[in-house]
Amino acid sequence: MAEDLSGLRIRLAASLPDRVAAALAGYEDFTASSPPADAKGFAAWHAAAKAALAHVDLLVKLARWAEGSPEPDAEGGVERLLAGARAALDALDECEEDE
């Protein structure tokens, strides 16, 4: 079992950085579009953005596991991007509540 996990870690450590970058690029492309003006469309757009962000977050956590590092990177690059994305989604939530 330990050998299986070791092999899995090696494979994931090699493939996940590209997958994280692709998921983050997709999230950035999606959120660069304007959300629909109607409440139902906005809610669907917002839910999709949150799901994409959760996917990126999960991939980052998996990549950390694969590399054997439970702590966030010292530079905080991806963490900073995720925090900014979360803040943007929170701001959209607040705007929707004010309307």
User: Between 8 and 23, where is the model more confident?
Assistant: 23
The number of distinct structural domains making up the chain is 1
The string of pLDDT tens digits covering residues 10-35 is 888 899 999 999 999 999 999 999 99
**Structural domain boundaries, residue 89:** 2-98
Q: For all residues of the chain together, what is the average pLDDT?
A: 83
Is the pTM for the entire model greater than 0.75? no
3-state secondary structure the chain: CHHHHHHHHHHHHHHHHHHHHHHHHHHHHHHHCCCCCCHHHHHHHHHHHHHHHHHHHHHHHHHHHHHCCCCCCCCCHHHHHHHHHHHHHHHHHHHHHHC
Q: Is residue 71 predicted with pLDDT exceeding 70? A: no
User: Between 94 and 54, where is the model more confident?
Assistant: 54
